[in-house]
């Protein structure tokens, strides 16, 4: 298992694309860590000696983003925003698929698409990132 993790790290650390969550590093836990998932309230125990990745922090996924933008008048996003998000996802996937060997995401869902906002005066451009990439070399 640790060999697969290290193989993943060596592949993931070299990925560079605006629509892929950035790799920041890896380390090994020095002590046991218990935490609770904020949404499902499931509890997890990570044991000392477990390897972990450090990645770019993007707090909002696509599911939460859409839920936060629902109103009584509108139950979804405007078409223009849907196209922008879709284009970002497609660009990230095209990048992964163009690598040699290609990488397949294999778990594309709203929870694994992160949306970040950058404030520039009035405009709020969004950037979509693919996360939770289950590396599968074709």
- Is the pLDDT assigned to residue 130 strictly greater than 60? no
Given the structure tokens 């594309």, which residue do they identify?
108
Per-residue model confidence as pLDDT tens digits over 18-66: 888 888 998 888 999 998 887 778 998 989 988 888 888 888 888 988 8
* Beta bridge partners of residue 115, listed in sequence order: 128
DSSP code at position 48: T
Q: What pLDDT score was predicted for residue 128?
A: 55
DSSP code at position 22: P
Q: What pLDDT score was predicted for residue 48?
A: 93
C-alpha to C-alpha distance for 6 and 11, rounded to whole angstroms: 9
Given the structure tokens 């380390």, which residue do they identify?
27
Question: What Cα–Cα distance (Å) separates residue 23 from each residue in 47, 73, 86, 127?
Answer: 22, 39, 22, 16
Q: In this structure, are residues 12 and 103 in contact, taking their beta carbons and an 8 Å threshold?
A: no
* CATH of 2-137 among 3.20.20.450, 1.10.510.10, 1.10.3720.10, 3.30.428.10: 1.10.510.10
* Beta bridge partners of residue 129, listed in sequence order: 114
C-alpha to C-alpha distance for 26 and 13, rounded to whole angstroms: 9
- Is the pLDDT assigned to residue 126 strictly greater than 70? no
Q: In this structure, are residues 109 and 124 in contact, taking their beta carbons and an 8 Å threshold?
A: no
Give the pLDDT band of residue 122 (cuts 50, 70, 90).
very low
C-alpha to C-alpha distance for 55 and 25, rounded to whole angstroms: 7
């Amino acid at each position: 298992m640790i060999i697969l993790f290290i193989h993943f790290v060596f592949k993931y650390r070299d990925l560079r694309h605006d629509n892929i969550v950035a790799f920041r590093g890896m380390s090994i836990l020095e002590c046991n860590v218990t935490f609770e998932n904020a949404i499902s309230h499931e509890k997890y125990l990570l044991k000392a000696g477990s390897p972990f990745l450090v990645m770019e922090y993007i707090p909002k996924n696509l599911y939460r983003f859409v839920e936060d933008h629902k109103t009584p008048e509108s139950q979804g996003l405007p078409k223009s925003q849907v196209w922008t998000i879709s284009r970002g996802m497609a660009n990230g996937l095209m990048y992964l698929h163009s690598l040699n060997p290609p990488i397949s995401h294999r778990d594309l869902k709203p929870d694994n698409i992160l949306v970040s906002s950058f404030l520039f005066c009035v405009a709020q451009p969004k950037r979509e990132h693919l996360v939770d990439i289950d590396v599968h070399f074709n």
